[in-house]
Amino acid sequence: MCCPGVLRCALLILMSLCTLRQNGNGVGALYTSNDMSMQSLGDNRAGASSDDGSVSKGANGELSRSSRTICRSFPGLTRKQLQQCRRAPDVVASAISGIRISVDECGNQMRDQRWNCSNIRTKNGNPYTNVMMSRGFRETAFAYATISAGVLYQVTRACSMGQLRTCGCDTSFAGDGVDFEWGGCSHDIQFGTSFVETFLDIKERGRDMQSKMNLHNNGVGRIAVAEYAVKKCKCHGMSGSCEVKTCWMQTPHFSEVGDRLLVKFREAKQVVARNSIGGNLRLADDPTPASTDGQRRRRRKRQPVPPKDHLVFLEDSPDFCQADPGLGSLGTRDRYCNRTSDGPEGCDSMCCGRGYNIKLERKTEWCNCKFHWCCQVKCRQCSQSVWVNSCK
């Protein structure tokens, strides 16, 4: 029997305080780390800046790194980005972390699509170095927006956790509300937004349509975080009463941001790939050709500007069925599929008509989890054979 949902929740909560250990008899156990002192808990500031400008060691075990080390650890930064990195290495370290969680979330959201973000999961860790990021595909638009959102999310969270020297809590939320008072640490989304605009948008200083598309989609990613901040509250009082309610604003969970951007991906709008249209992106919704110069000029004038919260793309995407070394795309060979689905994850769509293989695989997962006071969750590893479908 697999681990029930309630125990999984307990497991996730305890993981923030405990360390996962597996003993010799195959039983996994969570135990409180012997060296987890109150000092280390109170100083859990991975990537926090020290007075000398270096990034000091946090409780997550990361080694102290100078600003030079941080800036060199992420290849592909532009000259101006390197200058930012030297000025604020702690913020850039959080930004790099945001890029990494963005690539993970991209793969999570696209797991049922032919393109599953595998080609932007580069060996050097910088997705912008893949040629896919220089194209005008719908998928490229999604990747830009997701990365922009991830950097904003991670930098803002780092601010609220006291990990960065140059930001903290958003103090604009103050005083009393209708039935609550502002307190806690509201996330400083404005600081994060300003940083993302300078750190990511600075890469797109060209006047060509590709740069304008990338800037627009960066903005869509920021909107997906900033405009969906949520109010969180905590009650204070005797016996669980809510005599006083303290509230603060925080960013939504990043998986929710990913869900929102996936909807934007499906609703993305194609824009006209002409650099002469008044310097602005214009929707390309009218498929009928214009026969005269006058008709073309009139059409350009009435072509609407895409909404700021809609993803835009310039060119039709390939089908991603076959491996394409030029794009770093792996194709769909050996990808798992669902033979009973009519959606993109279905074998007919995923395998591009090539058919699929049915094979028996052995899978292992945690099961029979039990909570032991205090504070352990012990699980066993259970194996079972399952039939899977993979594309030919």
pLDDT digits (tens, 9 = 90+) for 122-151: 989 999 999 999 999 999 999 999 999 999
pLDDT at 343: 93
> Cβ contacts of residue 21 below 8 Å, gap of 6+?
28, 29, 30, 31
Q: Is 187 exposed, middle or buried (0-12, 13-18, 19+ CB in 10 A)?
A: buried
Structure tokens at 205: 């200083």
Classified as helix, coil or strand, 100 is helix
d(C-alpha 250, C-alpha 16), whole Å: 20
Residue 363 scores a pLDDT above 70:
yes
d(C-alpha 252, C-alpha 153), whole Å: 9
pLDDT in tens, 174-204: 777 678 888 889 999 999 999 999 999 988 8
- Closest by Cα among 314, 318, 334, 336 to 326: 318
> Cβ contacts of residue 61 below 8 Å, gap of 6+?
none
pLDDT at 2: 45
Question: In which region does residue 176 sit, left (phi positive, over 0), alpha (psi from -120 to 50) or beta (all else)?
Answer: beta
State mean pLDDT over 270-282: 72
Q: What percent of the chain has pLDDT over 70?
A: 76
d(C-alpha 135, C-alpha 74), whole Å: 22
Q: Which residue has the higher pLDDT, 213 or 60?
A: 213
The most confident of the ranges 206-210, 309-313, 359-363 is: 309-313
pLDDT at 109: 97
Give the rounded distance of the alpha carbon of 384 from its chain centre. Answer: 32
pLDDT at 94: 94
Torsion angle, alpha carbons of 165, 169, 172, 173, to 10:
180
pLDDT in tens, 17-31: 443 333 333 333 332
Residue-by-residue DSSP string for 111-156: TTSS--SGGGS-TTS-GGGSGGGGS--HHHHHHHHHHHHHHHHHHH
pLDDT in tens, 251-261: 999 999 999 99
**Reported confidence tier of residue 330, pLDDT bands at 50, 70, 90:** very high
d(C-alpha 18, C-alpha 11), whole Å: 10
Q: Is 270 exposed, middle or buried (0-12, 13-18, 19+ CB in 10 A)?
A: middle
Residue-by-residue DSSP string for 206-246: --SHHHHHHHHHHHHHHHHHHTT-EEEEEEESGGG--SEEE
pTM: 0.76
pLDDT in tens, 84-95: 999 999 999 999
Mean pLDDT of the chain: 80
Residue-by-residue DSSP string for 340-368: T--STTBHHHHTTTS-EEEEEEEEEEEEE
**Where is 269: in which H helix or E strand?**
strand 269-270
pLDDT in tens, 7-17: 444 444 444 44
State mean pLDDT over 284-302: 59
pLDDT at 58: 40
d(C-alpha 128, C-alpha 136), whole Å: 13
